[in-house]
Amino acid sequence: MKNIALLVLAMFIISCNKNNEKADAYGNFETTEITVSSESNGKIEFLNLEEGDVVEKGKTVGLIDTLQLYYTKMQLIASQKTVSSKSGNVLSQKQVLQEQLKTAKIEQTRIKNMFSENAATKRQVDEINGKVKVIEEQIKGVGTQNAPIKNEANSFSVQIEKINDQIKKCNLVNPIKGTVLTKYAEPNEVTTFGKPLYKIANLEEMNLRVYISETQLSSIKIGQQVKVKIDDFEQTKEYIGNIIWISSQAEFTPKIIQTKEERANLVYAVKIRVKNDGSLKIGMPAEIWIK
Q: Is residue 280 a part of any domain in this protein?
A: yes
161, 180, 201 — which closes off a domain? 201
pLDDT digits (tens, 9 = 90+) for 187-225: 999 999 999 999 999 999 999 999 998 888 889 999 999
pLDDT digits (tens, 9 = 90+) for 162-181: 999 999 999 999 999 999 99
Could you tell me the CA-to-CA distances from 183 to 35, 52, 57, 195 in Å, in that order?
10, 10, 17, 12
* Angle 271-275-281 from CA coordinates, rounded to 5°: 75
Those residues whose C-beta lies under 8 Å from the C-beta of residue 31, and which sit 6 or more positions away, are: 201, 202, 203, 205, 206, 207, 282
Closest CA to 186 of 34, 38, 33, 32: 38
Q: Are residues 58 and 75 in the same domain?
A: no
Q: Is residue 17 a part of any domain in this protein?
A: no
The CATH number that applies at residue 211 is: 2.40.30.170
Burial of 8 (0-12, 13-18, 19+ CB in 10 A): exposed
Coil, helix or strand at residue 229: strand
201, 217, 242 — which closes off a domain? 201
What pLDDT, on a 0 to 100 scale, did the predictor assign at position 7?
A: 37
Q: Is residue 266 a part of any domain in this protein?
A: yes
pTM over 0.85: no
What pLDDT, on a 0 to 100 scale, did the predictor assign at position 3?
A: 42
Q: Is residue 13 a part of any domain in this protein?
A: no
Q: Are residues 83 and 143 in the same domain?
A: yes
Low-confidence ranges of the chain (pLDDT < 70): 1-21, 88-91, 143, 253-264
What pLDDT, on a 0 to 100 scale, did the predictor assign at position 13?
A: 37
Q: Are residues 117 and 150 in the same domain?
A: yes
pLDDT digits (tens, 9 = 90+) for 76-91: 999 988 887 777 666 6
Domain total of the chain: 3
CA dihedral 125, 131, 134, 136 (to 10 degrees): -90
Q: Is residue 82 a part of any domain in this protein?
A: yes
* Angle 179-182-186 from CA coordinates, rounded to 5°: 115
What pLDDT, on a 0 to 100 scale, did the predictor assign at position 258?
A: 53
Determine the structural domain holding residue 193 and report its residue range.
33-65+171-201
169, 191, 212 — which closes off a domain? 169
Closest CA to 25 of 218, 205, 226, 280: 226
Coil, helix or strand at residue 48: coil
